[in-house]
């Protein structure tokens, strides 16, 4: 995703047990895309506006992305250096 669409990045560990690696949550107009590893996510990325992602299951429109990463603080700091 382009840096310009990222509104903010937040450290937020969330347990999502038994979730598939890629999944959606929330109402259709406010969906969150989760990239889950070992049943959790570590980072929440709020987007400036709805963004369409093309996934193997088809296209989805989301307003937020939650990711699992190895170094959440380092990831968040790196993203913050690039977002407007």
Q: What is the pLDDT of residue 9?
A: 98
Q: How many domains does the chain have?
A: 1
Q: What is the pLDDT of residue 48?
A: 97
In terms of C-beta density within 10 A (0-12 exposed, 13-18 middle, 19 or more buried), how is residue 71 classed?
exposed
Task: Measure the CA–CA gap between 71 and 35, rounded to whole angstroms.
Answer: 15
Domain hosting 63: range is 3-82
Q: Above 80 in pLDDT, residue 5?
A: yes
Task: Measure the CA–CA gap between 15 and 74, rounded to whole angstroms.
Answer: 20
Structure token digits, residue 8: 């903010």
Q: What is the pLDDT of residue 26?
A: 95
Task: Tell me if 69 sits within 8 A of 82, measured CB to CB.
Answer: no
Q: Above 90 in pLDDT, residue 84?
A: no
């Amino acid at each position: 995703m382009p840096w310009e669409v990222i509104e903010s990045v937040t450290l937020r560990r969330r347990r999502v047990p038994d979730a598939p690696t890629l999944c959606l949550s929330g109402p259709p107009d406010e969906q969150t895309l989760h990239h889950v590893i070992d049943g959790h996510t570590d980072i929440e990325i709020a987007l400036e506006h709805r963004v369409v992602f093309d996934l193997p299951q088809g296209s989805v429109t989301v307003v937020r992305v939650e990711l699992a990463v190895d170094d959440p603080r380092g990831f968040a700091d790196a993203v913050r250096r690039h977002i407007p």
